[in-house]
Amino acid sequence: MKITNWGKYPEIEANEVLYRNVQSLNNVLTEKQTWIPRAMGRCYGDSALGKNVISSLNLNRMLDFDNEKGILTCEAGVTFEDILKVFVPKGWFPPVTPGTKFVSMGGAIASDVHGKNHHKEGSISNHIIAFELLTPKGEVLKCSQIENQEIFRATFGGMGLTGLILSLTLKLKKIESSYIKTTVIKTKNLAETFEVLDAFEPATYTVSWTDCLQKGKSLGRSHVMKGEHVALSEIPDGVSPQNALFVPNKLTLSVPFDFPAFALNPLSVQSFNFLYYNRQLGKKKEKLTDYDSFFYPLDAIYHWNRIYGKRGFTQYQFVIPKENGLEGMREVIERIATRKMGSFLVVLKSFGEQEGGYLSFPQKGYTLAMDFAIDSRIFGFLDELDKVVLSYGGKVYLTKDVRLSKEVFEKMYPEARTFLEIKNRLDPEHLLSSFQSQRIGLSKNNEK
Binding site for ligand FAD (CB under 6 A): 5-6, 36-43, 47-48, 56, 76, 98-100, 103-104, 106-108, 110-111, 113-115, 159-160, 164-165, 298, 399
Nearer to ligand FAD, 98 or 122 (CB): 98
What is d(CA 159, CA 130) in angstroms, rounded to the nearest whole number? 17
- Cβ-contact 344, 269 below 8 angstroms: yes
Nearer to ligand FAD, 235 or 318 (CB): 318
Task: Give the shortest CB-117-to-ligand FAD separation in angstroms.
Answer: 11
- Cβ-contact 442, 412 below 8 angstroms: no
- 242: which residues sit within 8 A by CB, 6+ positions away? none
Helix (H) or strand (E) holding 222: strand 222-229
- Cβ-contact 385, 212 below 8 angstroms: no
Task: Give the shortest CB-321-to-ligand FAD separation in angstroms.
Answer: 18
Helix (H) or strand (E) holding 366: strand 365-373
Nearer to ligand FAD, 104 or 350 (CB): 104
Nearer to ligand FAD, 193 or 436 (CB): 436
- Residue 445 burial (CB < 10 Å; 0-12/13-18/19+)? exposed
What is d(CA 367, CA 72) in angstroms, rounded to the nearest whole number? 30
Task: Give the other-Cβ count within 10 Å of 283's Cβ.
Answer: 10
Nearer to ligand FAD, 45 or 91 (CB): 45
Task: Give the shortest CB-155-to-ligand FAD separation in angstroms.
Answer: 7
**Helical H segments across 51-188, by residue range:** 80-87, 105-111, 118-121, 149-155
Nearer to ligand FAD, 44 or 245 (CB): 44
Task: Give the shortest CB-25-to-ligand FAD separation in angstroms.
Answer: 13
What is d(CA 61, CA 77) in angstroms, rounded to the nearest whole number? 8
Q: Which of 340, 298, 309, 317 is nearest to 402 (CA)?
A: 317
Nearer to ligand FAD, 326 or 345 (CB): 345
Q: Identity (one letter) of the amino acid at 164?
A: L
Nearer to ligand FAD, 118 or 229 (CB): 118
Nearer to ligand FAD, 214 or 305 (CB): 305
Task: Give the shortest CB-74-to-ligand FAD separation in angstroms.
Answer: 11
Task: Give the other-Cβ count within 10 Å of 149's Cβ.
Answer: 11
Task: Give the shortest CB-376-to-ligand FAD separation in angstroms.
Answer: 24
Nearer to ligand FAD, 294 or 337 (CB): 294
Task: Give the shortest CB-103-to-ligand FAD separation in angstroms.
Answer: 4
3-class secondary structure, 221: coil
What is d(CA 99, CA 347) in angstroms, rounded to the nearest whole number? 10
Task: Give the shortest CB-239-to-ligand FAD separation in angstroms.
Answer: 28
| Omega of the bond leading into 95 within 30 degrees of 0 (cis) | no
What is d(CA 164, CA 196) in angstroms, rounded to the nearest whole number? 41
Task: Give the shortest CB-27-to-ligand FAD separation in angstroms.
Answer: 19
**Mapped to the 3 state alphabet, what secondary structure does 284-317 carry?**
EEEEEEEHHHHHCHHHHEECHHHHHCCCCEEEEE
Q: Identity (one letter) of the amino acid at 311?
A: R
Task: Give the shortest CB-413-to-ligand FAD separation in angstroms.
Answer: 15
What is d(CA 113, CA 128) in angstroms, rounded to the nearest whole number? 12
Nearer to ligand FAD, 101 or 181 (CB): 101
Task: Give the shortest CB-17-to-ligand FAD separation in angstroms.
Answer: 13
